[in-house]
Structure 1
Amino acid sequence: MYDIVIVGSGPAGANLARLIGNKYKVLLIDRRDLANENPKNPAIKCCGGLLAPDAQKMIARLGLGIPKDILVDPQLFAVRTIDLPNNLERLYQRFYFNIDREKFDRWLVSLLPSGVDRKFNSAFKSFSEIPEGYEIRYVSNGQELSAKTRLIVGADGASSRVRNLISKHIIAPEKYIAIQEWFECPYKIPYYTAIFDEEISDFYSWIIPKENYLLLGSALRPKENARKKYDLLKEKLTQRGFHFDNKIKTEGAFIFRPRKVSQFNAGRNGIALVGEAAGAISPSSAEGISYALKSSFYLAQSLEEGIDGFLARYKKRSADIKLNLLLKNLKSPAMYNPTLRQLAMKSGLQSIT
């Protein structure tokens, strides 16, 4: 009998398990193998691997320091913004940690207390209510297993099965598909590039240098010829002088874009949601690590006071996440409205070029 089963060991799930693992009996479940490195089967999520200032602030608040072997060259101090339809380009000062996302996730798991039980290579399937709480069912290395627990925490991302099982009648945030390809890159690019083009997406696309590679990604509407629009993006950028040769791999993942504060869902009864499973992700940039760390921190604080009444305390603490989502949505029109974006970029306000 566990106190808490956490589904998903990305930054939200791993951070929560780290914070509560000495107080509660915890089971952590993840599809990936985060205990053993296997070059043929990397345990990586489709992610640009950048720690934005909000994520850096949360890491400091948690009393953690990033090991240097997680950082990759180059470290980034500027964002190159390209507005393709208006043929505009500006450079803005920003500060990002450029990281190896797989190493980052493995590092967070390495910090877990020894008492936390871990089931990697395991897929959560369902749960049923029992007098003591819940009985969960999952498949581990091809074997069907079950476990009993007082609480369940969904930390399993935008496609959260936990959220889907408890929120069938609640409108989820808008879902996009992120397509990202890695290319060999013989030349150095010293900045992160954000690309806007409504013909491609009403969200945005990106280019991120990472060691000897270049990552090209885009957040696309999944039912609107996503692959064709991604290829059109490559074609347009090639015409601007970018080179996308020697492709190494292609990645994909669903991401949320919460447009309303009501689309944040903390959970119900004895089931809590954290990170992107809760709808906690930036609607303006799709940055999610800071929200993953913050929501899991708030849930851990709520559980420090005991299990009884934890969800009400978690919802109260999460009010500032909802406020942040509201402010990000208010900021979005300046980025995603073509006319406002054109005016802002032409003005040169806050740019360094």
Structure 2
Amino acid sequence: MYDIAIIGAGPAGANLARLLGESYKVVVIDRRDLESKYSAGPGNKCCGGLLAPDAQKMIARLGLGVPTEVLVDPQLFAVRTIDVTNGIEKLYQRFYYNMDREKFDRWMVSLLSLGVDKRFNAVYKGYEPMKDGFTVHFTQKGRRDSLKTRVLIGADGACSGVRKSISMGRAVPDTYIAIQEWFENQLPQAYYTAIFDEEISDFYSWIIPKNQYLVLGSALKANDKTWEKYHKLKEKLTHYGFLFHHRVKKEGAFIYRPKHANQLWAGKEGVALVGEAAGAISPSSAEGISYALKSSLFLAQSLNEGIEGFLGRYEKRLTKIRLNVIAKNAKAPFMYRPGLRKLVMQSGLQSIRRTVVNQTSQDGNIFPESIK
């Protein structure tokens, strides 16, 4: 009999297990094997792998430090923003860490205490209520199994199986499909790239260099000619100088985009939701790691005050995230409405000018040929 069973070992689930492992008997279930030999192959998390300032702040708040082996080259300091709809391009300084998302998740799992049980290569199949808890069903390496727990936590991301089990018509955030392809990259890249093109998506697309690869991704509305639009995006980007040859792998995942505060949900009747499963993710950028860490901290604080009444305490703490989502949605029109975005980009507000250098004097001093 476990005290707490957590479905999902991403940042939300792993951080929650780390914070509760000394106080309760905890088990974590995940479809990946996050303790096996590392492989950058299929099945990894579909994620751009940029650690945003809000996530950095949460990691610092938790008293952690990201090991260097999680980071990848190059570490860049600006985002090239391409507004295809309006025909505008600008450069903005940003402070992201470029990382290997799979290694980040493995690092988080490595922080768990020895008392936390881990069921990897396991797929959640549902639960049944019982007196004082739940029977949780899953398959592990193709074999059916089950366990008993007092509290069940869904940390299983967008389209959460746990959330579906308890939703009963509850409002769900807008659902998108994130598609990524990895290509061999022969050209040096000086910037991360964000692409806005209403013909492709009402969200955004991205290009991120990682070691010898170039990652192209896009957040597309589900069931809306997804692959057709993704291929059209690739074709358009060749006109901006990008080359997409020799694909190494492709990835896909559902992502949420909460438009209303009531789409964030703590859970009910002993079943709690955390991270993206709760709807905690930025509606303006789809950044989710900071929300995963923050919501898992709130849930851990609520559970460490006792299991009795923990959901009510967690619900109150989630108010901070709801207010943040409201603020992000207020910001979103300036990013995603073409007319407003055009005004912002044309103003040059917070953009930086690029210096092109190609002339050197006899004494070695470099002179800028032009400023863009």
Question: Given the two structures, how large is their TM-score scaled by the length of structure 2?
Answer: 0.93
1:317 offset after TM fit, Å?
Answer: 0.9
- Residue aligning to 1:120: 120
Amino acid at match of 1:25: K
Deviation string 1:1-28 (CA, Å, 9 cap, x unpaired) is: 0000000000000000000001000010
Please tell me whether the aligned partners of residues 173 and 258 of structure 1 are also in contact (alpha carbons under 8 angstroms): yes
Distance in 1, Cα, partners of 2:97 & 2:56: 8
Please tell me whether the aligned partners of residues 2 and 25 of structure 2 are also in contact (alpha carbons under 8 angstroms): yes
- Residue aligning to 2:87: 87
Please tell me whether the aligned partners of residues 42 and 250 of structure 2 are also in contact (alpha carbons under 8 angstroms): no
Amino acid at match of 2:320: D
Distance in 1, Cα, partners of 2:91 & 2:156: 35
- Residue aligning to 2:359: none
Please tell me whether the aligned partners of residues 41 and 249 of structure 2 are also in contact (alpha carbons under 8 angstroms): no
1:171 offset after TM fit, Å?
Answer: 1.6
Which aligned pairs between 1:73-222 and structure 2 lie closer than 5 A? 73-222=73-222
Please tell me whether the aligned partners of residues 43 and 102 of structure 1 are also in contact (alpha carbons under 8 angstroms): no
Matched-pair identity in %:
64
Amino acid at match of 2:209: P
Please tell me whether the aligned partners of residues 42 and 249 of structure 2 are also in contact (alpha carbons under 8 angstroms): no
CA RMSD of aligned residues (A): 1.0
1:75 offset after TM fit, Å?
Answer: 1.2
- Residue aligning to 1:337: 337
Amino acid at match of 1:194: A
Distance in 2, Cα, partners of 1:294 & 1:349: 30
- Residue aligning to 2:291: 291
Secondary structure of 2:92's counterpart equals strand
Please tell me whether the aligned partners of residues 42 and 251 of structure 2 are also in contact (alpha carbons under 8 angstroms): no
- Residue aligning to 2:358: none
1:41 offset after TM fit, Å?
Answer: 5.3
Distance in 1, Cα, partners of 2:104 & 2:94: 21
1:42 offset after TM fit, Å?
Answer: 5.5
- Residue aligning to 2:314: 314
1:223 offset after TM fit, Å?
Answer: 1.0
Structure 2 spans left out of the alignment, 5+ residues: 354-372
Deviant stretches of 4+, over 4 Å: 40-43
Distance in 1, Cα, partners of 2:222 & 2:345: 29
Amino acid at match of 1:279: G
Which aligned pairs between 1:210-249 and structure 2 lie closer than 5 A? 210-249=210-249
1:298 offset after TM fit, Å?
Answer: 0.5
Deviation string 1:255-309 (CA, Å, 9 cap, x unpaired) is: 0000001100111110100000000011001110000000001101111111011
- Residue aligning to 2:324: 324
Secondary structure of 2:302's counterpart equals helix
- Residue aligning to 1:28: 28
Structure 1 spans left out of the alignment, 5+ residues: none
1:38 offset after TM fit, Å?
Answer: 5.2
Distance in 2, Cα, partners of 1:50 & 1:334: 22
1:340 offset after TM fit, Å?
Answer: 0.3
Deviation string 1:298-344 (CA, Å, 9 cap, x unpaired) is: 10111111101111111111111000000000000000000000011
Please tell me whether the aligned partners of residues 33 and 43 of structure 1 are also in contact (alpha carbons under 8 angstroms): no
